[in-house]
Amino acid sequence: MNCHEFQNRIIDLLDGRNFTDEERRHLEQCPTCAAEFRAAAAALDAVTPRSTPRASDNLRDRILTAAASAGHPRRNRIYRLFGTMAAAAAIFAGVLLLSVRTPALAARKHFGSAVAAMNDLKTLRIGLLIRTAPHENFAYTDPSLPPIPCTVTAEYGGTTRWRIEKAGRIALCDGESVRTWLPEFGEGWRRKAEGYRPEEEFALLLDLQRLLLAEQAQAFRTKGAQYEITEDAATVRLTVAMPARGDFSQSDYLLNSSIAESNTLREYRFDKESGRLLDLCISAVLPDGGRSVLLESTGIAYDEPIDRAIWEVPEGIEWIDLAEPVSGAQLADMTAEEAAARILRAMGPWDKRLLDEALRYYGTGVREQLEAHYGGLAIISAGKALRSGEYPGVFIPCEILLADGRTEKLMLALRNDNPEKCWLVDGGL
């Protein structure tokens, strides 16, 4: 078990689920995850504060001033395919409903009725505008891109189902499996929902009390998070400043490539009587102090009929099963730099045996396009591995000479968080 998997299970463990032997061993052997677990447990103890917190009068000015010095926006051009479905569900739990570092007392005061409302909810449909690219994962944002529509649909009952859709990419959970596909390319990825992060993240949306506890735990260990709460006769508005999450000490490549990895100002408006979310707007705070709206709602509908056709899985999709073990071990037991060099060298003669393993996250059609573009390349340079943001792998800066004489610079994304510890290409091409 790696740290990413354990940290995704912390809320379940605090919620009373017994530890597995694997989880207990990881907690005993990993100081980082042990600290995360202690912080979350301490946050639960602090759910009922002794006094009502109050935001300072100059909060907004300090938000904009502090965030303006955070860094320069940079477009992330990678697909990060393996993380696609987890990132899609993060739109739900991390952004869509109450991704706000709300003090527990205010949460109880203003959202107590929301618990009952969510328990009785049958369907949910949310329209969004997101500054993203059509084929990129759902968490990906870029302040310089024009906004495009995205629709989130959920159906509650004995089996919870959800679907996220934008031009170029669709994600669907039927309660048993999660599938994400690119209609234009006729290929996609699938994995069982049980024990997989999208289901865990989505569970937080379904249980508002649990979600608030999760957010309280996150607030406990997030430095620089600030908020203010204002209200009128009918509504409550929360404004939250959240610093970019992740490690940018080696590279700022992923800074401003997602909502989580951006310095953001988040504004949420709720109905007092029902506790339901009315609208939301999340903006990136740019280095010059300006703001770019990354995500905003265009409409939220509760308990409206849903077209049954949206739950159908399309035919003719080449499915890549992410639960299948990596075939072979041609890229294990080596450094990321060695793996990158070996992969790029294999692209010259297009060594299909090695590249089918290295590019297993890409379907047949995309691999054929990559061969047409990169076949015959020569390596000019390949740098040291860098970490950036919350990405679990590394980035290798490379420069290559294409067969037609053009040069191209890449940030090759590699990860080896699979049981075989085999380095696989996760983006950058």
Q: Do 363 and 288 share a structural domain? A: no
User: Which of 284, 311, 338 finishes a domain?
Assistant: 311
316 in any annotated domain = no
User: Which of 311, 333, 353 finishes a domain?
Assistant: 311
Q: Do 215 and 68 share a structural domain? A: yes
Q: Do 163 and 287 share a structural domain? A: yes
Q: For residue range 255-290, what is the model confidence (pLDDT) as tens digits?
A: 999 888 999 888 878 787 777 778 889 899 998 889
Q: Do 56 and 37 share a structural domain? A: no
Proportion of the chain above pLDDT 70, given as a percent: 72
Q: Do 85 and 29 share a structural domain? A: no
Provide the b/e sequence for 186-224 (b: ≥16 CB within 10 Å).
ebbbbbebeebbbbbbbbbbbbbbbbbbbbbbbbbeeee
Query: Span 114-138, mean pLDDT?
Result: 80
Q: Do 391 and 255 share a structural domain? A: no
Show the domain range for 118. 51-311
What mean pLDDT value characterizes the chain?
77
Q: Do 132 and 95 share a structural domain? A: yes
Q: Do 170 and 220 share a structural domain? A: yes
Q: Do 165 and 283 share a structural domain? A: yes
68 in any annotated domain = yes
Q: Do 342 and 245 share a structural domain? A: no
CATH number for position 335:
3.10.450
Q: What is the 3-state secondary structure (H, E, C) of the chain?
A: CCHHHHHHCHHHHHCCCCCCHHHHHHHHHCHHHHHHHHHHHHHHHCCCCCCCCCCCCCHHHHHHHHHHCCCCCCCCCCCCHHHHHHHHHHHHHHHHCCCCCCCHHHHHHHHHHHHHHHHHCCEEEEEEEEECCCCCCCCECCCCCCEEEEEEEEECCCCCEEEEEECCEEEEECCCEEEEEECCCCEEEEEECCCCHHHHHHHHHHCHHHHHHHHHHHHHCCCCCEEEEEECCCEEEEEEEECCCCECCCCCCCCCCECCCCCEEEEEEEECCCCCEEEEEEEEECCCCCEEEEEEEEEEEECCCCCHHHHCCCCCCEEEECCCCCCCCCCCCCCHHHHHHHHHHHHCCCCHHHHHHHCCCCCHHHHHHHHHHHCCCEEEEECCCECCECCCCEEEEEEEECCCCCEEEEEEEEECCCCCCCCEEEECC
Q: Do 138 and 25 share a structural domain? A: no
Q: Do 62 and 121 share a structural domain? A: yes
Q: For residue range 299-322, what is the model confidence (pLDDT) as tens digits?
A: 989 899 999 999 999 999 999 888
319 in any annotated domain = no
Q: For residue range 156-194, what is the model confidence (pLDDT) as tens digits?
A: 887 888 888 999 999 898 888 889 999 998 999 998 876
CATH number for position 299:
2.50.20
What is the rounded distance in angstroms from the CA atom of residue 14 to the CA atom of residue 22?
Answer: 16
- Tally of structural domains, the chain: 3
User: Which of 311, 339, 354 finishes a domain?
Assistant: 311
